[in-house]
Structure 1
Amino acid sequence: MAHLVEQMAYVGATPWHGLGKRLTQKQPLEVWQREAGMNWQIQDSPVHFKSDTVGTLGSIHSFPEHKVLYRSDTKAPLSVVSNRYQVVQPREVLEFYRDLTEVAGYELETAGVLKGGRKFWALARTGQSTALKGNDMVNGYLLLATSCDGTLATTATPTTIRVVCNNTLSIAVNGASQAIKVPHSTHFDPRAVKQQLGITVSVWDDFMYRMRTLAERKVQWPEAMGFFMNVLCDTNVHNPIPNVLPNKRAMEKVQSLYEGKGRGSEMESTRGTAWGLLNAVTEYVDHERRARSSEYRMDSAWFGQGAVIKQRALHAALRLIA
């Protein structure tokens, strides 16, 4: 099977079953651009098509309202979009971090290309870090990703990663995601996005205060079952098989992760707590959920249905401490 991750670079531990090129820390963005496979441009061309006519070779017509996007290096087609589509180049994703890494203390940790160039991202550690009880470390990151096929707006997402298990979670405060999305119908302005993000200590402290509260909130088994049911099972859908839970495999897996099989599940912050419930779901989505490959699971966990499940789990956990 072809890899969904076409090329990527990283520092630190090898991610996703050994894919990617490992770099030493503090590399300049130009090295990241080359090693992450982001040293090409998105180019465009008018759309033309051939109409077949019986007995002739057909004729060439144009489709003036649309354009083809293609890679400058391989000339491989990426998508057909409207002429109003605003392209964000791979180098722009890395350039977004230039002042953050050179001045603000951020450090790039991964960057790469998905789906033949139709999606690309970079992830940087912010330098923010918090220890929950029992020295359960959570680090702050900023993920910037975009697409050139309309499947993803250019999105900057403040994210946490729990060190013991590499579970990822997008930061949300008062029920609202802190992600900034720039649709491809408008121009991507990096400075405006950074201002909107308000990459401040107060947002981090507010979110981590809630995570500490989750780590203090003890839950009983019926409460845990209700949590997993609400997050993983659509109980409003008619189930044709009596006494069989919808999404039974997922339920069994997250229960086992919560009850001691999960990485870090025996830590003081996690054992029998709402923080443990949340991490059972995030570990399931990031590392255990069924997918065609680990790359597809990563794509879902960051940008697709997996990300939706994790946010549902976060909202359900926060309701336990409301």
Structure 2
Amino acid sequence: MTTLALPDVNQQFAAERIAQINRAADKQAGIDAQIADGKLRSLGNGRYLVTDPDSWDNGEVLTMNQGELLPEHGLDETTGQVALYTTTPAWHALGNVVPGGTTDIDKVLTLGGINFPVSRRPVLYQANPTDQPRIVPDQFVNIREDTNAALGVVGARYEVLQNRQGFEFLQDLVDDYDVTWESAGALRDGRKVFITMRLPQTVSVDVEGINDTIVPFIVALNSHDGSSLFQVVATPWRVECGNTERFSVRDALTRWGVRHTRNARDRIEEARRTLRLSVDYFDQFAAEEESLARTDLAIDEFHKVIGDLWATPDEDAPVRTRNKHAKRVEILTDLYDTNAARLGRTAYAAERAITEFADWKTAIRPTGSLRGNNLAARATAVMEGSADELKSKAHRRLLTLTHR
């Protein structure tokens, strides 16, 4: 299972963004105070890393821009226009807003700045500057045809999934060819494209004042650089920038992905089963979460759950192994205390703590095109469900405590 978002996450996120932009106090003094409090770390050249767990921007890099310390929206601007269509004005006040939305795919493709085809072309090289170019066997570069930009190098089996096909996949997925599109756009110069639709079902966890209401969106995430699968997630987030794209993956209720191969578009039924897009599923999910929220969990019991998920090393185990386990327990305990402050000391708070640890606190080693970009690598790992088995095991283990 995955982390549940707070109520009205889109509204809360937009409010924080607007507050950041409109803040009129002494900016540098405020920055210095945040650095002193350990909430910011200067990276030089007007760039700062957010180190505040209570901020939406925790882990993000902010940049000083005309006296304002602002996040980057990450949207594609290579054509001179911001690549975003949305039904709701975003915090950055960019893109094309269509109140109430539209069902017209062609209109969304145009307004979202993603009406460009992508084609594969052979990779060429020159052994020497004066030599004739040679073709690299089984290697291709994906080209964005409207700008001729190279988006990424892929292998021979890679099949381009065009942006329009992402819309059609979502239509087929929910059997609705008159769906209103919530948002669509491009990130990283068009290397990644997102499409969002809203589902009619909601998930509510309302136990003793918790009042977590989750409005699920279905988001398709398509990459053209070979870095990730074609993904579909059920999430409480409407994607409208780089951050919300990351949050949509982090807080996904369910997810499904497929490699860019010839039969990707034919796997609708598999996607339906994996995403569990049914009223019965959402009702069952809500019931389980409410059961966890009603189950008190003392810290000793939480540590027993940790021990079931990560075996405690023997006394004669290497010092490094024992220290690593002790550090893991310390981090998980802090996360549990943080979640319990709002949710109570319950199995529900424990599940959120374990999920947050699995997604964002474990070590990761970026490779390939993501080498050196820890945040992107971690977001990709979450998107591809690297910790899904652990989170499902934790959910099942915590459910056993509800039957005491």
Relative to the length of structure 2, the TM-score reads 0.58
Percent of pairs with identical residues: 20
Alignment match, 1:152:
228
String of CA shifts for 1:67-93, please: whole Å, max 9, x gaps: 221111221111222333111012222
String of CA shifts for 1:109-142, please: whole Å, max 9, x gaps: 3433233323222232211013222443122232
Of 201, 206, 218, 2:284 maps to 206
User: 1:254 Cα shift?
Assistant: 1.7
User: 1:185 Cα shift?
Assistant: 2.7
**Aligned equivalents of 1:66 and 1:115: distance in 2?**
22
State the SS of the aligned residue for 1:127: coil
Q: Is the 8 A contact 1:275 1:317 kept in 2?
A: no
Decide which structure has greater strand share: 1
**Aligned equivalents of 1:21 and 1:297: distance in 2?**
28
Q: Is the 8 A contact 1:68 1:77 kept in 2?
A: yes
Q: Is the 8 A contact 1:289 1:297 kept in 2?
A: no
**Aligned equivalents of 1:113 and 1:310: distance in 2?**
27
Of 16, 20, 37, 2:113 maps to 37
Aligned length: 293
String of CA shifts for 1:13-38, please: whole Å, max 9, x gaps: 746xx385362232343343234331
Relative to the length of structure 1, the TM-score reads 0.70
The one-letter code sitting in structure 2 at the alignment partner of 1:193 is I
Deviates more, 1:71-80 or 1:111-120: 111-120
Of 187, 192, 197, 1:124 maps to 197
Alignment of 1:53-132 (within 5 A): 57-98=130-171, 103=176, 107-132=180-205
Q: Is the 8 A contact 1:47 1:62 kept in 2?
A: yes
Q: Is structure 2 residue 307 aligned with structure 1 residue 221?
A: no
Q: Flag structure 2 segments of 5+ consecutive residues without an equivalent.
A: 1-62, 64-71, 77-82, 238-246, 365-372
Alignment of 1:129-208 (within 5 A): 129-133=202-206, 134=209, 135-159=211-235, 169-171=251-253, 179-189=255-265, 192-193=267-268, 196-198=271-273, 199-208=277-286
Alignment match, 2:95:
21
Q: Flag structure 1 segments of 5+ consecutive residues without an equivalent.
A: 172-177
**Aligned equivalents of 1:123 and 1:298: distance in 2?**
22
Alignment match, 1:175:
none
**Aligned equivalents of 1:288 and 1:65: distance in 2?**
37
Q: 1:19 to 1:40 in 2, by over 3 A?
A: farther
The one-letter code sitting in structure 1 at the alignment partner of 2:339 is Y
Over aligned residue pairs, what C-alpha RMSD do you find?
4.1
Alignment of 1:198-277 (within 5 A): 198=273, 199-227=277-305, 240=320, 245-246=326-327, 250-251=331-332, 254-260=335-341, 265=342, 270-277=343-350
The one-letter code sitting in structure 2 at the alignment partner of 1:213 is S
Q: 1:127 to 1:254 in 2, by over 3 A?
A: same
